[in-house]
């Protein structure tokens, strides 16, 4: 009798676990639609790499902050000890770093 009771309890926990898994899968946000998934499955490595990089760029594009370079230059020029020549050198470095 004790053994059947253990199996009964295990069956209940197993059912709860399956229900929890279903809830987790239904709550998750759909990242890509089914058409895109089918296209991805057919891609070779090169196309997939391009797709992933483009997708990542789109995600980052939503988070990118912009820098107002003229305003930055004006603020840097206010710092004591930085003249016009040094300011231009600093701005060149900043523009090179930002690929402007």
Q: What is the pLDDT of residues 54-65, one digit of tens each?
A: 877 777 666 656
Domain containing 53 equals 31-64
Residues 42 and 55 grouped into a single domain: yes
Both 81 and 57 in one domain: the answer is no
Q: Is the pLDDT of residue 28 over 90?
A: no
User: Are the CB atoms for 70 and 92 separated by under 8 Å?
Assistant: no
Tell me: pLDDT of 3 over 60: no
For residues 21 and 33, give the distance between their C-alpha atoms in angstroms, rounded to a whole number: 21
Nearest-angstrom CA–CA distance, 77 and 73 = 6
**Arithmetic mean of pLDDT over the chain:** 77
The answer on 70 and 52 residing in a single domain is: no
Q: Do 70 and 99 belong together in one domain?
A: yes
pTM flag (> 0.85): no
Instruction: Please indicate, yes or no, whether residues 71 and 95 belong to a single structural domain of this protein.
Output: yes
What's the sign of the alpha-carbon dihedral 55, 58, 62, 65? positive
Quick: pLDDT tens for 29-44: 566 778 888 888 888 8
């Amino acid at each position: 009798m004790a053994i059947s009771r253990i199996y009964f309890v295990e069956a209940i926990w197993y059912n709860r676990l399956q229900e929890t898994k279903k809830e987790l899968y239904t709550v998750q946000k759909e990242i890509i639609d089914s058409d895109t998934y089918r296209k991805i499955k057919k891609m070779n490595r090169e196309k997939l790499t391009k797709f992933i990089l483009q997708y990542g760029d789109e995600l980052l594009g939503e988070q990118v902050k912009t820098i107002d370079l003229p305003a930055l230059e004006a603020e840097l020029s206010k710092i004591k000890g930085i003249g016009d020549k040094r300011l231009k050198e600093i701005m060149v470095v900043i523009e090179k770093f930002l690929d402007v």
